Every structure is written in C-alpha cells, then in structure tokens.
Amino acid sequence: QLGVGNSGVEIGKLNSALGERRAGRQPAARKPRVPAIVHPLPPDAAASNLPRVGPSVARLLEQLIHGKNEPNRIVTIEDVLRISPRRYIDYSNLTKIGEMLGPIGDVTVAGEVVDIREQYGRARPFTVARISDGTGTLRLVWFSTFITKQLAEGERIYASGTIQGSYNGLEIISPEWEKADGPTLTTNRIAPVYPLTKGLYQKTMRAITRNALDATRSKLVDWLAEARPYLDKTVDLPPIDETYERLHYPEMMDQIAASKRRLMFENLFLLQLGLVHRKQSIQASPGQPLTINWDVVDRFRESLPFTLTGAQQRVIDEIMSDIRQPTPMTRLLQGDVGSGKTAVAATIALVARNNGKQTAFMAPTELLAEQHERSLRRLYAGLPEDGRPAIALLTGSTRAKRRREIDAAMTTGEIDILVGTHALVQDAVTFHDLALAIVDEQHRFGVKQRALLAQKANNVQPHMLSMTATPIPRTLNLVLSGDLDVSIMDEQPPGRIPIETRLYRKPQRADAYRLVREEIERGHQVFVICPLVEESEVIEAKAAVEEAQRLKDQVFPDLRIDVVHGKMPSKKKDEVMTAFRDHQFDILVSTSVIEVGIDIPNATVMMIEGADRFGLSQLHQFRGRVGRGGAKSYCILLADDSSATGDARLQTMVATDDGFLLAEKDLELRGPGDFMGTRQSGLPELDWLDDGFDTRLIEVARAAAVRLLADDPAIDIRRFPRLKPRLQQYWATAPVIDTSKS
C-alpha cells in the first residue's frame, strides 16, 4: 500500500503503472501543490489554529461536535481527534484498468487524464473524464462542472470509487480523486467517512483531521499510562498517538476496533474512578444507624391484604442490613413493573418512623407523587391508628396556606413521611430529623437534586434508596449506577393475570382495531403509542396529534379520544392523564413520553404503532401500563416492516414478560444506547459505548478504579500529574474529586 508521506515512492509506482504517455500530449501547466505547513500544537489548543479551519469552518465544527445547545463552546484539536468516523471505505485495492472484467466493487485506479470535458444532460451539466494507466481506459463522471477548473489533461491522479457497468463501458460515478504529486487522504487507502453538518464536506473533514494528527503528534499526553500498573495485564490498549492515527487513517481494517476500544476504556475508567470515589466518600460520612423492631415490621406484613413475594422479602432484608450500619445506605432498587417496590419502601419508612426519624419520598411528577401518597395510605391502612405514619404531600400545586402548615409540621416532627416532587429540595422545606430519602425513577433527577435532598438531614448523611421500574442488564449497572449497591426484584406477586401480547402486521390492522372496540365496549380504556421519531420530538408530537385526529375521523368516530406528547407543558400533560384516569375519554394517543409508573387500572389495551422501532425494554415498559386492574389485558404490537431479525425480536416480546431477560436481549441485539436514558442525569457523557460494546471492559475499568483508589484515595496530583487533571476535566459538570487536598 502507498502510505502517507511516501510521495516519491507513490509517483515512482504510478509512473510504472501508467506505461507510455500518449504521444505528443504534455501536461497542463500547473503550479506544484504545496502541502499545508502544520506547526506543533497542544491538543487543548483551539481547532481554529489548524490550516483549513477559518471562522466559518470553526463554527461548523462547533455545531457538529457540541451541537446547537452550546454554540459558543470552543472546539479544541482533541475534540476533532475524537470525532469517530461513521464508517470506512476500503480504497486500498490498487487495480489495473485492463484487469477489470466487470463491476468489482470499491477500487483505486492510478492513471493519466487523457481527456476531460463538460457535457449537458436533461437536468444539469456534468463532467466526464477518461483516464488511462497503459492497460486500458476508464470513464469518470461527476455531477458538477467545477472539476474542470481543478483537473487538466495530462495530470496524474488516483481515482477511487465503485466500478459500475453502463452502455459506455466501465465507469465510476462521483469518484473520490487526488493528484498523484502528494500524500493521499482518500484514494489508494482506507478512507474515513465522517458525520457532517450542512456546509462541511468529507474532503474538508479529512484535511482537518490529518492536520490535527500532524500538529499534535509530539504533543499528545498519554494520561492512561499512569494508570497502567492498576490495569489487568491481559488488557492490550494502544498508546494514544497510535489510537488517533488508526482511528482516522488505519492501514488495515482490524486496527479500527483497537482504537475505539482504547477510547471506550478511557471513558469507562474515568467514569468508574468518579463513581467509586463518590461511593467511598459517602460511606466515609457519618450515617444514622436505625434500630429494627421486627415485631413492628411483622405486624405491618400481617396487616397487608397480600403476602410479600420472596423477592420483596429478600430486598427488605438487604436494606435492613444497610440501615443498621453507621454508614449511609446508597442502594438502587430495580423492580419490574408491578413487582411491589412501593411496599418495600413503605416497610423501610415505617422503620424510620419507629426510630423517631422522618422520610422524604421524591417522585418526578405530581401525578406520580399523588399516586405514591395514595398507595402509602392504603398500605398502612391495616395498622392501628397510632401505629400509622403521618403522611403529607408537597408539590408545585400545593397552595401557600397548606404549604405553610406542612412546613410547620415538618419542623416539629409531626409529619413522618413527606411525599412530593422536586419541591422537597426547596430551601423553605425543613426536616426535623431526616434519616431516609427515597427517590422514585431516580434517573429523572440530577445528581445535584439528590445531593440537595441529602443536605436536608441535620449534618448527617441520610440513607438513600433509589428506585426504578426499568430492568437494567447486570453489567450496565456499573455504568449507569456504579456508585450504588443494587437490589433486584425479579418476581411478580401471585395471582396477577398475565398480559397477552399479540403481534400484528399492516394487513391485520382491522383485527387490532376490533379488539380495541371490544374492550372499550366492556367499559375499559386504551393506550395508543405513536411510532418513535428519533430525529425530532416536534415531529413526534405532530404525528401523535395527527394520529389522534385520524382515529377520530376514520376509525372510531363515536369514541372519546385525547392526546398527550412531549412538547406539552407538564401541567397540561398532568391534566390529560388525570382526565384519562377518571375515565373522561376512552383512548389516549401518546408519544413515547407516557409516564412510567402511572396507574390507570381501567386501561386494558396497550397498542404500539411502529413496534419494530422501539427496543424490547421500552416495549416492556409500555406493556406495563396496562394490567393494573383485575381484568385481562392486551399488548398489541403493530409492526411496519417484516424482517427475520425484527420478527425474532418482537416474537421474544410475545413469548416472555420477564423484563430482565428482555433487557439482556436488548443489550445483545441493539447495544447499550436504549439504556442511556436511565442514567443518573448529571453524570458525564459516555462516548464510544455503541462502537463494539464490551461488557468485560466495564468490569476491567471498575476493578482498575477500585485498585487505584485503594492505593491512593485522594489521587494525589504529585503521583498522577496527567491523570488527575483529565479526571477533573471529565467530571467538570458533576465534580466528585476534592481538589483542595492534593
């Protein structure tokens, strides 16, 4: 292969490939190409210091890398180096024209331009050139006339693209091309294909990344080298300069995976260092050990109108073991939809109350907060009146007079459990003695909000129990909730009627609508989920409104239909959901924002349009919105396209209602992307995870972080002069390392 920097060798080989020049034709007079002079630059320098990056290109790079939300954030050279090509085209196959017997895929040919001219078609002008390498000629076609200003007869070029057959013979349409008097970025090699934004082109991006590599070659700092003594010896990660070079301009395709693996590990290791450090810091804080009165706990269990499952008993025991300790509990409770997490939370809150302590129970929306308050009152209803915890509800809608009453009762300790939304973390809310904080759907709250809630305790860290209804694969827990211990409830209460899941194709839509009508005639209600539109929440909202109108006009003109979507204000969404709960209409059309945990016992059908666009875990979450009452319920999967992979995936939904099994299957089939929404908000971004997800790498990163922090809990900057600044930079939005001590 002809490599970058070997222009003399390239030209020599090209001359031998060309054979004799066409008699009498001389190359057009052109100025020799002068390569851009790239001066050494540190990786944190602005990308605008690079050749080819003027003000307009710099703005386009900002848009590409940081998005429209951070338009004024400067793009550094390292930001450019960390742009991952979307794919690669292998143009390293240098082929003689005379050996091409037909369309043969992607190739590079080396030849002399024997003629080039503009031609005019029906729609627009185009350029046609013929090149010869001495063994034959090949036709090149560009749908632009600008090429004639760049290329002249007699010039030697590389041309790369896909060989096609036409009535004109073999040709390449819109080939990549480069002159043979300099290093190549595209032709005669494996070429990167970058994500772009309007106004930015592949040729420009390749030149910029090449210049970025050349500028930083002697300036890159391999901070990971300081952590290598703590890494598993079997983990082979290339040095950083080689990583970036092979990411952008690999010599062989198998070098790409090693580069992405190194960059993925960097992210995972920095994340795990921060999470483990945070967990250790919390555990080093003074806690509030609670005394367990098992007689009270047993009386509560006996008062319940149902028997706790084995999974509930096991998780309660795990939590009891935590809250007895003088160190604060930080535990995540994962329970599938309907597994009984609220009963577990009620048991622990009762223990806190028996110790004279208070509990804060925070939910992401007013509807969920109200639902939790009602559930707690029902669960405690079987206890004697003097044994029931006093419960209050505080949300953004709580009137000022009631808010003042709650504040006064909280300060004196008259209220045992305060249920609410983010209103709980407001300055005006004062707890008498907060010992337990319960956070439902914990990923919906930022790290900062949970920290503010913890600060409501009297200079002592409260026990923290986070809950989620989203089953997460075991290995991903280290990424999504690595600072928490995890309890899993994977058992449903007995006697629950299973939800029947049916898969329908477009021709069977009438059958699906027939089932919907039958259920509504029985007095039940129906959810309809619109297809996922990843590119735009606005388009998704518009589609939901249009689908609701279509159902009203064409399918169910006699039924009551309403709509909810992500662009609605929260108050309006709550009003619609409350009206649906109160059976003021029959069908709720929704985008994928439908609230996890909302309890509509009368809803018996969940119909999901475009089911093949959703991950299994999200489909399972939708399915969990029905089956909350005593009636048989249905989940209808309406799929757009039929494929062997898609059919097998959706048949898995039909076959099982085990959310944890579906989560593992989702990870296997689609990678970790679908689970990133369940991360604790406020954590650093995770890049590279979808580029060849490797569960072992997560475990290696975790083990290395634990070993390093065991050796040096403060990560002393004198020992880690490169690693520590990188860690602080990575966690800049959610600091976890106390920099004042080292």
386 shares its domain with 471: yes
State mean pLDDT over 224-246.
Answer: 92
Contact 631, 610 (CB under 8 A): no
Which CATH number goes with the domain that contains 175? 2.40.50.140
| Domains held by the chain: number | 5
10 shares its domain with 153: yes
CA–CA distance, 462 with 455 (Å, rounded to integer): 8
> Which of these three, 456, 489, 522, is where a domain ends?
489
Whole-Å CA distances, 399 to 374, 385, 402, 575? 19, 27, 5, 17
pLDDT in tens, 480-489: 777 888 999 9
In the chain, the percentage of residues whose pLDDT exceeds 90 is 51
Lowest mean pLDDT among 95-99, 293-297, 581-585, 662-666: 662-666
With respect to residue 670, please indicate whether it lies within any of the assigned structural domains: no
pLDDT in tens, 591-647: 877 755 578 999 999 999 989 888 888 899 899 889 888 899 999 999 876 665 677
With respect to residue 231, please indicate whether it lies within any of the assigned structural domains: yes
351 shares its domain with 315: yes
With respect to residue 263, please indicate whether it lies within any of the assigned structural domains: yes
Question: What sign for the dihedral angle of Cα 261, 263, 266, 271?
Answer: negative
510 shares its domain with 598: yes
With respect to residue 25, please indicate whether it lies within any of the assigned structural domains: no
Indicate if the pLDDT at residue 18 is higher than 50. Answer: no
> Which of these three, 467, 489, 511, is where a domain ends?
489
483 phi/psi in degrees, rounded to 5: -95, 5
Indicate if the pLDDT at residue 455 is higher than 70. Answer: yes
Rounded (10°) angle between helices 644-655 and 659-670: 170
Tokens standing for residue 712: 């040096």
pLDDT in tens, 602-613: 999 999 998 988
pLDDT at 662: 87
CA–CA distance, 216 with 81 (Å, rounded to integer): 10
pLDDT at 215: 95
Q: Which amino acid is at 669?
A: L
Could you tell me which residues are beta bridge partners of residue 112? 132, 156
247 shares its domain with 231: yes
State mean pLDDT over 681-703.
Answer: 71
| 26-35, 540-549, 710-719: range with highest mean pLDDT | 710-719
pLDDT at 617: 86
Q: What is the mean pLDDT of the chain?
A: 85
Contact 334, 471 (CB under 8 A): yes
With respect to residue 674, please indicate whether it lies within any of the assigned structural domains: no
pLDDT at 501: 96
Indicate if the pLDDT at residue 1 is higher than 70. Answer: no
With respect to residue 332, please indicate whether it lies within any of the assigned structural domains: yes
Indicate if the pLDDT at residue 70 is higher than 70. Answer: no
pLDDT at 596: 57
Q: Output the CA angle 628-634-638, nearest 5 degrees.
A: 130
Contact residues for 314 (Cβ-Cβ < 8 A; gap 6+): 487
Residue that is written with structure tokens 């085209």 in the block: 89
1 shares its domain with 122: yes
pLDDT at 4: 34
45 shares its domain with 155: no
347 phi/psi in degrees, rounded to 5: -65, -45
Please report which confidence band the pLDDT of residue 89 belongs to, taking 50, 70 and 90 as the band edges. Answer: confident
pLDDT at 138: 93
407 shares its domain with 450: yes
State mean pLDDT over 452-478.
Answer: 81
With respect to residue 344, please indicate whether it lies within any of the assigned structural domains: yes
Lowest mean pLDDT among 231-245, 481-495, 552-566, 700-714: 481-495
Please report which confidence band the pLDDT of residue 68 belongs to, taking 50, 70 and 90 as the band edges. Answer: low
pTM of the model: 0.76
Indicate if the pLDDT at residue 458 is higher than 80. Answer: no
pLDDT at 11: 35
Range of the domain at 117: 1-20+88-191
pLDDT in tens, 348-382: 999 999 999 999 999 988 888 999 999 999 999 99
pLDDT at 740: 39
Indicate if the pLDDT at residue 25 is higher than 50. Answer: no
> Which of these three, 164, 183, 218, is where a domain ends?
218
| 117-121, 151-155, 468-472, 681-685: range with highest mean pLDDT | 151-155
Indicate if the pLDDT at residue 715 is higher than 50. Answer: yes
591 shares its domain with 644: yes
716 shares its domain with 575: no
357 shares its domain with 406: yes
CA–CA distance, 527 with 519 (Å, rounded to integer): 12
Indicate if the pLDDT at residue 28 is higher than 80. Answer: no
Whole-Å CA distances, 54 to 46, 381, 612? 11, 70, 44
163 shares its domain with 303: no
Which CATH number goes with the domain that contains 430? 3.40.50.300
pLDDT in tens, 46-57: 999 999 899 999
Question: What sign for the dihedral angle of Cα 337, 339, 341, 343?
Answer: positive
Which CATH number goes with the domain that contains 42? 1.10.150
With respect to residue 560, please indicate whether it lies within any of the assigned structural domains: yes
